[in-house]
Amino acid sequence: MIDTIEKEDPVISEEEAAQYDRQIRLWGLDAQKRLRGSRVLLAGLGGLGAEVAKNLILAGVKGLTLLDHEKVSEESCRAQFLVPVTARGQNRAQASLERGQNLNPMVKVHADQDRVEDKPDDFFLQFDAVCLTGCTRDLMVRVDQLCSKHNIKVFCGDVYGYYGYMFSNLGKEHNFVEEKPKLVKQTGSDGPEAKKTKVDPNETVMVKKTASFCPLKEALEVDWTTEKAKAGMKKTPVDYFMLHVLLKFRTDKGRDPDPQSYPEDSQLLRQIRDDVLEALEVSADLLNDEFISYCFSEMSPVCAVVGGVLGQEVVKALSQRDPPHRNFFFFDGRKGNGVVDYFGPN
Protein backbone atom coordinates (compact mmCIF):
# COMPACT_ATOMS: atom_id res chain seq x y z
CA MET A 1 0.00 0.00 0.00
CA ILE A 2 2.82 2.38 0.88
CA ASP A 3 4.36 2.37 -2.58
CA THR A 4 1.22 3.67 -4.24
CA ILE A 5 0.60 6.68 -2.05
CA GLU A 6 3.43 8.99 -2.99
CA LYS A 7 2.12 10.09 -6.35
CA GLU A 8 -1.17 11.36 -4.97
CA ASP A 9 -0.36 15.04 -4.81
CA PRO A 10 3.18 15.78 -6.01
CA VAL A 11 3.19 19.49 -5.34
CA ILE A 12 3.50 20.65 -1.75
CA SER A 13 1.63 23.86 -1.00
CA GLU A 14 3.33 26.98 0.31
CA GLU A 15 1.43 26.72 3.57
CA GLU A 16 2.61 23.16 4.09
CA ALA A 17 6.17 24.06 3.19
CA ALA A 18 6.15 26.86 5.74
CA GLN A 19 4.56 24.89 8.56
CA TYR A 20 6.55 21.69 7.99
CA ASP A 21 9.78 23.53 7.26
CA ARG A 22 11.65 22.42 10.40
CA GLN A 23 10.88 18.75 9.87
CA ILE A 24 11.42 18.80 6.10
CA ARG A 25 14.93 20.03 6.81
CA LEU A 26 15.35 16.95 8.97
CA TRP A 27 13.85 14.15 6.92
CA GLY A 28 13.44 15.62 3.44
CA LEU A 29 10.61 16.51 1.13
CA ASP A 30 10.09 12.96 -0.18
CA ALA A 31 9.45 11.67 3.31
CA GLN A 32 7.04 14.50 4.03
CA LYS A 33 5.10 13.72 0.83
CA ARG A 34 4.75 10.08 1.83
CA LEU A 35 3.47 11.11 5.24
CA ARG A 36 1.04 13.43 3.57
CA GLY A 37 -0.43 10.53 1.66
CA SER A 38 -0.76 8.14 4.61
CA ARG A 39 -3.89 7.19 6.51
CA VAL A 40 -3.43 5.93 10.05
CA LEU A 41 -5.76 4.19 12.49
CA LEU A 42 -5.18 4.85 16.19
CA ALA A 43 -7.09 2.71 18.68
CA GLY A 44 -7.33 3.86 22.30
CA LEU A 45 -7.28 7.50 23.41
CA GLY A 46 -5.75 7.14 26.87
CA GLY A 47 -2.56 8.89 27.94
CA LEU A 48 -0.39 7.11 25.39
CA GLY A 49 -2.95 7.33 22.60
CA ALA A 50 -3.25 11.09 22.99
CA GLU A 51 0.52 11.52 22.72
CA VAL A 52 0.66 9.41 19.56
CA ALA A 53 -2.30 11.34 18.14
CA LYS A 54 -0.56 14.65 18.82
CA ASN A 55 2.69 13.49 17.22
CA LEU A 56 1.09 12.09 14.08
CA ILE A 57 -1.25 15.04 13.58
CA LEU A 58 1.63 17.50 13.98
CA ALA A 59 3.76 15.45 11.59
CA GLY A 60 1.14 15.92 8.88
CA VAL A 61 -0.33 12.56 7.90
CA LYS A 62 -3.20 12.59 5.44
CA GLY A 63 -5.75 11.22 7.86
CA LEU A 64 -5.94 9.91 11.42
CA THR A 65 -8.91 7.92 12.69
CA LEU A 66 -9.37 7.94 16.46
CA LEU A 67 -11.10 4.71 17.46
CA ASP A 68 -12.32 4.34 21.04
CA HIS A 69 -15.53 2.97 22.58
CA GLU A 70 -14.72 4.10 26.14
CA LYS A 71 -16.41 7.00 27.87
CA VAL A 72 -14.56 9.98 29.35
CA SER A 73 -14.07 9.30 33.07
CA GLU A 74 -12.83 11.45 35.97
CA GLU A 75 -9.36 10.12 35.34
CA SER A 76 -9.41 10.69 31.57
CA CYS A 77 -9.15 14.45 31.98
CA ARG A 78 -5.91 14.04 33.90
CA ALA A 79 -4.49 11.28 31.73
CA GLN A 80 -4.56 13.24 28.51
CA PHE A 81 -4.81 16.82 27.33
CA LEU A 82 -7.07 16.46 24.28
CA VAL A 83 -10.25 15.85 26.25
CA PRO A 84 -11.84 19.01 27.71
CA VAL A 85 -12.91 19.02 31.36
CA THR A 86 -16.53 19.47 30.39
CA ALA A 87 -16.66 16.25 28.37
CA ARG A 88 -17.35 13.79 31.17
CA GLY A 89 -19.60 10.97 29.98
CA GLN A 90 -18.94 11.59 26.29
CA ASN A 91 -17.18 9.12 24.06
CA ARG A 92 -13.41 9.47 24.42
CA ALA A 93 -12.61 9.54 20.70
CA GLN A 94 -15.36 12.06 20.05
CA ALA A 95 -14.21 14.24 22.96
CA SER A 96 -10.62 14.22 21.68
CA LEU A 97 -11.61 15.23 18.17
CA GLU A 98 -11.82 19.00 18.40
CA ARG A 99 -8.48 19.66 20.07
CA GLY A 100 -6.88 16.95 17.99
CA GLN A 101 -8.06 18.57 14.78
CA ASN A 102 -6.95 22.02 15.96
CA LEU A 103 -3.37 20.79 16.24
CA ASN A 104 -3.22 20.74 12.47
CA PRO A 105 -6.15 21.63 10.24
CA MET A 106 -4.35 20.10 7.24
CA VAL A 107 -4.89 16.57 8.62
CA LYS A 108 -8.28 14.84 8.34
CA VAL A 109 -9.00 13.73 11.90
CA HIS A 110 -11.97 11.43 12.33
CA ALA A 111 -13.61 9.96 15.47
CA ASP A 112 -15.08 6.45 15.60
CA GLN A 113 -16.94 5.20 18.67
CA ASP A 114 -17.01 1.48 17.91
CA ARG A 115 -15.17 -1.32 19.67
CA VAL A 116 -12.05 -2.51 17.86
CA GLU A 117 -13.18 -6.13 18.13
CA ASP A 118 -16.49 -5.34 16.40
CA LYS A 119 -14.83 -3.94 13.28
CA PRO A 120 -15.00 -6.16 10.19
CA ASP A 121 -11.75 -7.19 8.53
CA ASP A 122 -12.08 -4.82 5.60
CA PHE A 123 -12.33 -1.80 7.93
CA PHE A 124 -8.59 -2.07 8.58
CA LEU A 125 -7.69 -2.30 4.89
CA GLN A 126 -8.28 1.42 4.27
CA PHE A 127 -5.23 2.31 6.39
CA ASP A 128 -1.51 2.36 5.70
CA ALA A 129 -0.64 1.94 9.35
CA VAL A 130 -2.52 0.74 12.41
CA CYS A 131 -1.57 1.66 15.98
CA LEU A 132 -3.20 -0.22 18.86
CA THR A 133 -3.20 0.95 22.47
CA GLY A 134 -5.25 -0.47 25.34
CA CYS A 135 -6.09 -3.66 23.43
CA THR A 136 -6.03 -7.23 24.71
CA ARG A 137 -3.35 -9.62 23.56
CA ASP A 138 -5.73 -11.74 21.43
CA LEU A 139 -7.15 -8.69 19.71
CA MET A 140 -3.68 -7.34 18.92
CA VAL A 141 -2.60 -10.72 17.54
CA ARG A 142 -5.71 -10.94 15.33
CA VAL A 143 -5.36 -7.41 13.92
CA ASP A 144 -1.62 -7.91 13.43
CA GLN A 145 -2.21 -11.11 11.44
CA LEU A 146 -4.84 -9.47 9.27
CA CYS A 147 -2.91 -6.26 8.59
CA SER A 148 0.45 -7.79 7.78
CA LYS A 149 -1.22 -9.97 5.15
CA HIS A 150 -2.12 -6.75 3.38
CA ASN A 151 1.18 -4.92 3.88
CA ILE A 152 -0.26 -2.60 6.48
CA LYS A 153 2.27 -1.50 9.11
CA VAL A 154 1.28 -2.56 12.63
CA PHE A 155 2.21 -0.88 15.91
CA CYS A 156 1.20 -1.71 19.47
CA GLY A 157 1.93 0.16 22.67
CA ASP A 158 0.85 0.67 26.27
CA VAL A 159 1.88 2.51 29.42
CA TYR A 160 1.51 0.91 32.83
CA GLY A 161 2.47 3.39 35.53
CA TYR A 162 6.18 4.03 35.18
CA TYR A 163 6.60 1.36 32.51
CA GLY A 164 5.85 1.41 28.82
CA TYR A 165 6.49 -0.54 25.64
CA MET A 166 5.94 -0.40 21.90
CA PHE A 167 6.04 -3.18 19.33
CA SER A 168 6.19 -2.95 15.55
CA ASN A 169 5.60 -5.32 12.66
CA LEU A 170 6.56 -3.69 9.38
CA GLY A 171 6.28 -6.90 7.37
CA LYS A 172 8.67 -9.54 6.12
CA GLU A 173 10.33 -7.07 3.78
CA HIS A 174 10.31 -3.44 4.86
CA ASN A 175 12.26 -1.22 2.47
CA PHE A 176 13.75 2.05 3.60
CA VAL A 177 16.60 4.45 2.85
CA GLU A 178 19.30 5.59 5.18
CA GLU A 179 21.42 8.69 4.74
CA LYS A 180 25.06 7.84 5.27
CA PRO A 181 28.26 9.89 4.95
CA LYS A 182 29.96 9.40 1.60
CA LEU A 183 33.07 7.25 1.60
CA VAL A 184 35.97 8.81 -0.28
CA LYS A 185 38.80 6.60 -1.46
CA GLN A 186 42.26 7.94 -0.79
CA THR A 187 44.46 8.35 -3.84
CA GLY A 188 48.11 9.19 -4.23
CA SER A 189 50.30 8.69 -1.17
CA ASP A 190 51.66 5.29 -0.14
CA GLY A 191 51.60 3.74 3.27
CA PRO A 192 48.79 2.79 5.63
CA GLU A 193 46.86 6.02 4.99
CA ALA A 194 46.25 5.10 1.36
CA LYS A 195 44.52 1.87 2.30
CA LYS A 196 41.82 3.54 4.41
CA THR A 197 38.67 4.92 2.87
CA LYS A 198 37.83 8.19 4.50
CA VAL A 199 34.50 9.65 5.35
CA ASP A 200 33.60 12.87 3.57
CA PRO A 201 31.86 15.01 6.20
CA ASN A 202 30.17 17.27 3.70
CA GLU A 203 28.47 14.77 1.44
CA THR A 204 25.97 12.05 2.12
CA VAL A 205 24.48 9.23 0.08
CA MET A 206 21.11 7.52 0.36
CA VAL A 207 21.56 3.79 0.88
CA LYS A 208 18.67 1.38 0.24
CA LYS A 209 18.07 -1.24 2.90
CA THR A 210 15.60 -3.91 3.96
CA ALA A 211 14.48 -5.07 7.39
CA SER A 212 12.42 -8.12 8.25
CA PHE A 213 9.81 -8.29 11.01
CA CYS A 214 7.89 -11.14 12.57
CA PRO A 215 4.21 -11.30 13.60
CA LEU A 216 3.22 -10.31 17.14
CA LYS A 217 2.12 -13.88 17.86
CA GLU A 218 5.62 -15.21 17.23
CA ALA A 219 7.21 -12.34 19.15
CA LEU A 220 5.17 -13.18 22.23
CA GLU A 221 5.50 -16.95 21.92
CA VAL A 222 9.26 -17.31 22.13
CA ASP A 223 10.33 -20.73 23.39
CA TRP A 224 12.50 -20.17 26.45
CA THR A 225 13.35 -23.84 26.93
CA THR A 226 15.89 -24.01 24.08
CA GLU A 227 19.60 -23.84 24.85
CA LYS A 228 19.97 -20.68 22.79
CA ALA A 229 17.15 -18.91 24.62
CA LYS A 230 18.56 -19.90 28.00
CA ALA A 231 22.00 -18.64 27.00
CA GLY A 232 20.58 -15.27 25.96
CA MET A 233 18.61 -14.85 29.19
CA LYS A 234 21.18 -12.60 30.85
CA LYS A 235 20.83 -9.99 28.14
CA THR A 236 17.05 -10.23 27.97
CA PRO A 237 15.20 -7.23 29.37
CA VAL A 238 12.91 -8.27 32.19
CA ASP A 239 10.34 -5.83 30.83
CA TYR A 240 9.39 -8.44 28.23
CA PHE A 241 8.12 -10.77 30.95
CA MET A 242 6.46 -7.93 32.81
CA LEU A 243 4.55 -7.22 29.61
CA HIS A 244 3.25 -10.80 29.56
CA VAL A 245 2.00 -10.40 33.12
CA LEU A 246 0.23 -7.10 32.42
CA LEU A 247 -1.35 -8.40 29.21
CA LYS A 248 -2.64 -11.45 31.09
CA PHE A 249 -4.11 -9.19 33.79
CA ARG A 250 -5.89 -7.21 31.10
CA THR A 251 -7.32 -10.36 29.51
CA ASP A 252 -8.44 -11.86 32.84
CA LYS A 253 -9.91 -8.72 34.40
CA GLY A 254 -11.01 -6.83 31.30
CA ARG A 255 -9.17 -3.76 32.54
CA ASP A 256 -5.73 -2.59 33.71
CA PRO A 257 -4.60 -2.45 37.39
CA ASP A 258 -6.76 0.16 39.12
CA PRO A 259 -5.57 2.30 42.07
CA GLN A 260 -9.09 2.03 43.52
CA SER A 261 -8.59 -1.73 43.88
CA TYR A 262 -4.97 -1.58 44.84
CA PRO A 263 -4.80 -4.42 47.40
CA GLU A 264 -6.77 -6.95 45.33
CA ASP A 265 -5.06 -6.05 42.08
CA SER A 266 -1.58 -6.26 43.63
CA GLN A 267 -2.41 -9.70 44.93
CA LEU A 268 -3.65 -10.78 41.51
CA LEU A 269 -0.56 -9.35 39.79
CA ARG A 270 1.65 -11.36 42.10
CA GLN A 271 -0.29 -14.50 41.31
CA ILE A 272 -0.26 -13.88 37.55
CA ARG A 273 3.47 -13.22 37.70
CA ASP A 274 4.02 -16.62 39.29
CA ASP A 275 1.77 -18.35 36.75
CA VAL A 276 3.29 -16.64 33.72
CA LEU A 277 6.90 -17.31 34.67
CA GLU A 278 6.04 -20.93 35.37
CA ALA A 279 4.18 -21.35 32.07
CA LEU A 280 7.09 -19.84 30.14
CA GLU A 281 9.43 -22.18 31.99
CA VAL A 282 11.74 -19.44 33.14
CA SER A 283 13.14 -18.75 36.59
CA ALA A 284 10.70 -17.54 39.23
CA ASP A 285 13.33 -15.01 40.41
CA LEU A 286 13.34 -13.19 37.09
CA LEU A 287 10.67 -10.70 38.06
CA ASN A 288 10.38 -9.71 41.70
CA ASP A 289 7.48 -7.96 43.45
CA GLU A 290 8.76 -4.44 43.00
CA PHE A 291 7.13 -3.64 39.67
CA ILE A 292 3.71 -4.16 41.20
CA SER A 293 3.53 -0.83 43.03
CA TYR A 294 4.72 1.06 39.99
CA CYS A 295 2.51 -0.28 37.22
CA PHE A 296 -0.80 1.37 38.10
CA SER A 297 -2.35 4.11 35.94
CA GLU A 298 -0.45 6.01 33.23
CA MET A 299 2.36 8.38 34.21
CA SER A 300 2.15 11.41 31.96
CA PRO A 301 5.88 11.87 31.27
CA VAL A 302 6.18 8.14 30.50
CA CYS A 303 3.33 8.50 28.01
CA ALA A 304 5.24 11.39 26.47
CA VAL A 305 8.43 9.36 26.04
CA VAL A 306 6.80 6.17 24.74
CA GLY A 307 4.39 8.21 22.62
CA GLY A 308 7.33 10.13 21.21
CA VAL A 309 9.21 6.98 20.23
CA LEU A 310 6.09 5.29 18.89
CA GLY A 311 5.10 8.38 16.91
CA GLN A 312 8.55 8.60 15.41
CA GLU A 313 8.51 4.90 14.47
CA VAL A 314 5.22 5.39 12.61
CA VAL A 315 6.72 8.40 10.80
CA LYS A 316 9.83 6.41 9.85
CA ALA A 317 7.79 3.46 8.60
CA LEU A 318 5.40 5.55 6.54
CA SER A 319 8.14 7.74 5.07
CA GLN A 320 10.36 4.69 4.53
CA ARG A 321 13.31 6.58 5.81
CA ASP A 322 15.82 5.74 8.55
CA PRO A 323 16.29 2.38 10.27
CA PRO A 324 13.24 1.27 12.25
CA HIS A 325 13.48 -0.07 15.80
CA ARG A 326 13.19 -3.82 15.62
CA ASN A 327 10.90 -4.91 17.13
CA PHE A 328 10.28 -3.87 20.76
CA PHE A 329 11.09 -0.71 22.71
CA PHE A 330 10.78 -0.90 26.50
CA PHE A 331 10.91 2.15 28.73
CA ASP A 332 11.48 2.08 32.50
CA GLY A 333 10.55 5.51 33.81
CA ARG A 334 11.97 4.85 37.26
CA LYS A 335 15.48 4.30 35.99
CA GLY A 336 15.26 6.45 32.89
CA ASN A 337 16.21 3.39 30.83
CA GLY A 338 15.11 2.69 27.31
CA VAL A 339 16.01 -0.45 25.41
CA VAL A 340 15.36 -1.75 21.91
CA ASP A 341 15.39 -5.52 21.53
CA TYR A 342 14.23 -8.17 19.11
CA PHE A 343 11.95 -11.03 20.17
CA GLY A 344 10.90 -13.66 17.69
CA PRO A 345 12.08 -16.68 15.75
CA ASN A 346 15.65 -16.42 14.55
Partner 1 sequence: MADADEPEKKRRRVVELTEKMVVDGGSGRTCEWDGRWNHIKKFLERSGPFTHPDFEPSTESLQFMLETCKILVIGAGGLGCELLKDLALSGFRNIHVVDMDTIDLSNLNRQFLFRLTDVGRPKANVAADFINNRIPGCCVVPHFKKIQDIDETFYKQFHIIVCGLDSVVARRWMNGMLLSLLVFEDGVLDPSSIIPLIDGGTEGFKGNARVILPGMTACIDCTLELYPPQINFPMCTIASMPRLPEHCIEYVRMLLWPKETPFGDGVVLDGDDPEHIQWVYQRSLERAADFNITGVTYRLTQAACATEVFKIASSAYIPLNNYMVFNDVDGLYTYTFEAERKSVASIEQRTRPNLSKTLKELGLSDGQELAVADATTPQTMLFRLCFTS
DSSP 8-class letter at 191: S
Sign of CA dihedral 43, 45, 50, 51: negative
Closest distance of CB 39 from partner 1, Å: 20
Q: Do 253 and 218 form a contact (C-beta atoms < 8 A)?
A: no
Compute the least distance from the CB of residue 139 to partner 1, in Å.
25
Query: What are the backbone dihedrals phi and psi of residue 179, each rounded to the nearest 5 degrees, phi first?
Result: -90, 120
Which CB atom, from 73 or from 186, has the smaller least distance to partner 1?
Answer: 73
Least Å from the CB of residue 104 to partner 1: 8
Residue 137 vs 273, nearer CB to partner 1: 273
List 205's β-bridge partners, or say none. 180
Report the relative pairing of strands 129-133 and 153-160 from DSSP bridges.
Answer: parallel
Of 108 and 149, nearer to partner 1 (C-beta) is 108
Answer for the pair 164, 158: CB distance below 8 angstroms, yes or no.
Answer: yes
Query: In the bound complex, what is the minimum distance in angstroms from residue 12's beta carbon to partner 1?
Result: 13
Beta carbon nearer to partner 1, 92 or 325: 325
Of 259 and 345, CB closest to partner 1: 259
CB 69 within 8 A of CB 87: no
> What is the closest distance, in whole angstroms, from the C-beta atom of residue 279 to partner 1 in the complex?
27
* C-alpha of 299 from chain center: 17
Please name the amino acid found at residue 180. K
CB 5 within 8 A of CB 37: yes
By C-alpha distance, which of 240, 222, 232, 238 is closest to 166? 240
Closer by beta carbon to partner 1, 143 or else 329: 329
> Which residues lie near partner 1 (CB under 8 A)?
18-23, 25-26, 54, 58-60, 74-75, 77-81, 84-85, 102-105, 161-162, 202, 259-260, 262, 290, 293-294, 296-301, 304-305, 307-309, 312, 322-323, 325, 329, 333-340
Shortest distance in whole angstroms from residue 4 CB to partner 1: 26
